[in-house]
Amino acid sequence: DGGITQSPKYLFRKEGQNVTLSCEQNLNHDAMYWYRQDPGQGLRLIYYSQIVNDFQKGDIAEGYSVSREKKESFPLTVTSAQKNPTAFYLCASSIGSVKTGELFFGEGSRLTVL
């Protein structure tokens, strides 16, 4: 079945450590996105990528980094520079610019900083 796979589902990090969240899709979608979800706030865009080897910052990119070396993969690194990293992280994809709002989401990764 086609879909988006995020891993790990739960992750604990000590302060000062970098962590990488994996996102893989087999939907053959061009565009991929990373969102952050916090209680009482709407989904906020961290980074997005329209094509391989190209990505753009979203609204809250500080303290995060991404890469897009393959169409299927869009990993997110949460660096030690991110001051408040505890959150629920969601990866999504879409067919392209025409239907950008029709997003297919993964199951999410919950990051907790100890």
Partner 1 sequence: EDQVTQSPEALRLQEGESSSLNCSYTVSGLRGLFWYRQDPGKGPEFLFTLYSAGEEKEKERLKATLTKKESFLHITAPKPEDSATYLCAVHPGGYQKVTFGIGTKLQVIP
Query: Would you report the helix, strand and coil content of the chain in percent, each value rounded to 5?
Result: 0, 50, 50
Coil, strand or helix at 48? strand
- Options 13-21, 65-73, 75-83, 99-107: segment touching partner 1 (CB under 8 A): 99-107
Site string for partner 1, 4-43 (x = CB under 8 A): x-x------------------------x--------xxxx
Please, what is the minimum distance in Å from the beta carbon of residue 41 to partner 1? 6
Applying CB under 8 A, which of residues 16, 54, 83, 101 lies at the interface with partner 1?
A: 101
Structure tokens at 56: 């753009």
Q: Where are the alpha helices (DSSP H) in 1-114?
A: none
CA distance 5 to 13: 21
What does the binding site for partner 1 look like in residue numbers (CB under 8 A)?
Answer: 4, 6, 31, 40-45, 48, 50, 56, 58-59, 90, 92, 97, 99-108, 110
